[in-house]
Amino acid sequence: MVTSVSPVGLADRAANEVSFTTSLGFPKKLERILSDPRVALAYHTRDHGFANHSHYVLAQGRAEVDLQPPAQRLAELMEASEPFLGRTRRGRVWDWLLREYHQNRVFVDVHPERVAVWPDLSASGRPTVTGASWPGHPAEQEPPKNGTAPRTPVAKLARQIDALPHRLLAYQGADGHPVILPVTVTGHDETGLRLAASPGLLPPGGRRAGFLAHRFQPQCVGLAMRTLTGWLTVEDGQALYAPHTSAGMTAPPSRTVTTVANGLLAKQGLRRARRDGTTARLRELAARNQARGPEEQSDDAD
């Protein structure tokens, strides 16, 4: 799976740590991370940010999930996010509306084991790799029992993706860490989406892969996202992506409407997570990960 996050500059070089946050009201990504803490963060766009370079950066490492951060860390997050997302709404009504969204934040702290940097955002050229050496392309995977053909209408997906300028493809690398790469959609037919990437990036053969297309405006308003799972086939340098599942969302280009929606969704999601046992399950997974070493976690995930 590949999805978009807003890191809002959360990084600690001394601790070898880059972070992002989410809400307990949106628990699905947390369950995936706690089940397999090998993750990757791709810094693939500089739109509406403050970075003064155009490198494509892929940080692969192991994630730790802080389900109950202290009040000081939450306050520091609010301060760090305002240059990117705008001043936090305050007042009796706003405080009630955003209570769960702000106070039930979860930090995902990623400790990079490998950082690959390409000279530009298309990930062309030779990357500079810091940390563990790049393991090369992974072996092919066995096709799924239900076949590799598309399971959702390709033409409709192509129309939805057309308005979303940022496109990323993710697959499991040879050492188990996700590899996330920028791609372009060059065409489509009933067999899937035709993809192109910088030479040498896509592994030959067939495998499961995630696809993300998204867009956003300043302060992360006007969000739109389409997340796919499917089957990637690369033969003779040609890449075909057959989508199996599709999920998406579109938010109006209004910060007020987006803020209200975030608050209400976080309230509803947190209540549902408590009611169906998701919150307790997340805490159980987090406690189990803390009690085991990284090697044990990797063995379970493999």
- Give 293's contacts (C-beta < 8 A, 6+ positions apart): none
Q: What is the pLDDT of residues 125-154, one digit of tens each?
A: 889 999 999 998 999 999 999 999 999 999
Whole-model pTM: value is 0.89
Residue 192 has pLDDT above 50, yes or no: yes
Q: What pLDDT score does 301 carry?
A: 46
Domains parsed from the chain with CATH numbers: 1-134+256-302 (2.30.110), 137-253 (2.30.110.10)
Q: Distance between CA atoms of 245 and 162, rounded to whole angstroms?
A: 18
Return the higher-pLDDT residue of 302 and 293: 293
Q: Which long-range contacts (CB under 8 A, 24 or more apart) does 296-299 make?
A: 297/36, 297/37, 297/62, 298/38, 298/176
Contact 179, 143 (CB under 8 A): no
